[in-house]
């Protein structure tokens, strides 16, 4: 029997009809973003069958080695989104400055921010990677946007989402009214609504953190992880599991579907760098998706979406996931960051601390 399914196009047009005065420009922009993700899904899915794997031999603006697919995915995002007339400019992880829409195309009212390929260090080992995107409004009257026009807190995002290129390719989207997941049907070439109204479970016993950095963590994070590791016998009274994919999109997707808490906290390794992940095109879009699904996203010190960015590639401590766990982490930050954590529950030292 043929099952009538709702495509992403149909979903977006229905949403457009709910917004009085909508002109369809935003719908067309989302269609272009969708196409960019399909083009990247195709390339990623080919793996070693094309010449697209491996290092590009160059560094990006942040001094990270670029993979060939970083460069290709960035180019796909720019080329697929520049011509439609809906954007004034774009900002990418791979570009130092905003990319202004070339003069031969009309300029529109929106700004697009993206990480074209997230988790790309995983690409050669066939682990899930993704693309992250966020749409902002361009202020009225601005035709030549500068970096300053992009420095808007995450609450101002018009829409945000990601594509995950895993065993299946999915596109996860929020337009500010819940979070919806679409699975790419490769035969018909359409994203199909398979996961409407996603909700992050409020409680969890799964956490994700790169424990090799534990000696640099702040007291609040040390305490939180110590208590998780102590399991049933500890103050939490239950056992926890740990996960670490090292691909933000894959971590966010797992947490969106079954709960959990992710931490890449600010640490003391490099006092000049207050975290690892980028606010504009990683933390903000993932933060909006998670919060729209009933979870919470925080720097530990403040809600992510309320932080006013101070530069395009600003890094930030980022934790998100099941609401009650992130609230606990925020509480520990308030309680513990003023003083040294002495792990009173475990005698004289935390589980991750070196013996005195």
What residues make contact with Mn ion under the rule CB under 5 A?
93, 115, 117-118
220, two tokens: 């609040």
In the bound state with Mn ion, the residue whose beta carbon lies nearer, of 110 and 318, is 318
User: What does residue 312 show for φ and ψ, rounded to 5 degrees?
Assistant: -60, -40
SS3 of residue 135 by DSSP: strand
DSSP-assigned beta bridge partners for residue 303: 298
Which residue lies nearer to Mn ion by CB, 15 or 118? 118
Whether 70 and 94 have beta carbons less than 8 Å apart is answered as yes
Q: Measured between alpha carbons, how far is 288 from 32 in angstroms, rounded to an integer?
A: 21
Which CB atom, from 93 or from 226, has the smaller least distance to Mn ion?
Answer: 93
- Kindly tell me which of 131 and 299 has the beta carbon lying closer to Mn ion: 131
Q: For the CB of residue 36, give the shortest distance to Mn ion in the complex, in Å.
A: 14
* Least CB distance to Mn ion at residue 60 (A): 8
Residue pointed to by tokens 């005698």: 347
Q: Smallest distance, Å, CB 131 to Mn ion?
A: 8
> Least CB distance from residue 120 to Mn ion, whole Å?
5
How many other β-carbons are positioned within 10 Å of the β-carbon of residue 255? 27
Least separation, in Å, of the C-beta of 209 and Mn ion? 17
Residue 132 CB, shortest distance to Mn ion, in Å, is 7
DSSP bridge pairs for 264:
318
Phi and psi at 150, nearest 5°, equal -90, -15
Tell the smallest beta-carbon distance from residue 206 to Mn ion (Å). Answer: 21
* CB of 82 or CB of 93, closer to Mn ion: 93
Minimum Å distance from CB 334 to Mn ion? 29
| Closer Cβ to Mn ion, 70 or 149, answer by number | 70
Report the nearest approach of Mn ion to the CB of residue 105 (Å): 25
Rounded Cα–Cα distance for residues 241 and 249 (Å): 19
All residues at 6 or more sequence positions from 233 whose CB lies less than 8 Å from its CB, including other chains: none
* Run of H or E residues at 131: strand 129-137
- Of all residues in this chain, which one has the CB nearest to Mn ion in the complex? 118
Task: Kindly tell me which of 123 and 192 has the beta carbon lying closer to Mn ion.
Answer: 123
Burial 47-78 (b: 16+ CB within 10 A, else e): eeeeebbeeeeeebeeeeebbbbbbbbbebbb
What CA–CA distances, in Å, run from 94 to 73, 98, 180? 10, 10, 27
Nearer to Mn ion, 109 or 315 (CB): 315
Residue closer to Mn ion by CB (options 93, 227) is 93
SS3 (DSSP) at 225? helix
Burial of 125 (0-12, 13-18, 19+ CB in 10 A): exposed
Contact 292, 178 (CB under 8 A): yes
Q: What is the DSSP string of 38-76?
A: HHHHHHHHHGGGTT--SEEEEE-TTSPEEEHHHHHHHHH
């Amino acid at each position: 029997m043929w099952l009538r399914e709702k495509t992403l196009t149909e979903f977006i047009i229905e949403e457009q009809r709910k917004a009085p005065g909508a002109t369809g420009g935003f719908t067309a922009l989302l269609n272009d973003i969708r196409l960019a993700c399909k083009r990247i899904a195709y390339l990623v899915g080919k793996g070693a069958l094309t010449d697209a794997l491996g290092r590009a031999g160059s560094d990006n603006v942040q001094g990270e080695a670029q993979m060939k697919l970083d460069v290709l995915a960035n180019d796909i995002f720019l080329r697929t989104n520049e011509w439609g007339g809906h954007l004034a400019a774009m900002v990418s992880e791979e570009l130092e400055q905003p990319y202004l829409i070339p003069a031969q195309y009309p300029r529109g009212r929106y700004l697009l921010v993206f990480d074209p390929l997230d988790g790309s260090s995983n690409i050669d080992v066939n682990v899930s990677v993704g693309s992250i995107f966020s749409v902002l409004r361009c202020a009225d009257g601005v035709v030549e946007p500068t970096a300053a026009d992009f420095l808007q807190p995450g609450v101002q995002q018009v829409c945000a989402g990601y594509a995950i290129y895993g065993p299946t390719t999915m596109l996860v989207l929020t337009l500010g009214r819940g979070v919806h997941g679409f699975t790419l049907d490769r035969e018909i070439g359409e994203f199909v609504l398979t996961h409407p109204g996603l909700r992050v479970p409020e409680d969890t016993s799964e956490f994700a953190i790169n424990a090799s950095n534990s000696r640099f963590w702040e007291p609040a994070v040390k305490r939180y992880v110590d208590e998780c590791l102590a399991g049933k016998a500890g103050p939490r009274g239950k056992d926890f599991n740990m996960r670490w994919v090292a691909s933000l999109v894959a971590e966010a997707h797992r947490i969106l579907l079954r709960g959990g808490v992710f931490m890449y906290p600010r640490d003391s390794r490099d006092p000049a760098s207050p975290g690892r992940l980028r606010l504009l095109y990683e933390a903000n879009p993932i933060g909006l998706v998670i919060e729209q699904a009933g979870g919470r996203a925080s720097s530990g010190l403040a809600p992510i979406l309320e932080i006013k960015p101070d530069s395009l590639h600003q890094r930030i401590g980022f934790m998100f996931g099941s609401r009650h766990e992130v609230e606990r982490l925020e509480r520990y930050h308030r309680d513990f960051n003023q003083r040294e954590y002495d792990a009173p529950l475990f005698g004289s030292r935390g589980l991750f601390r070196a013996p005195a």
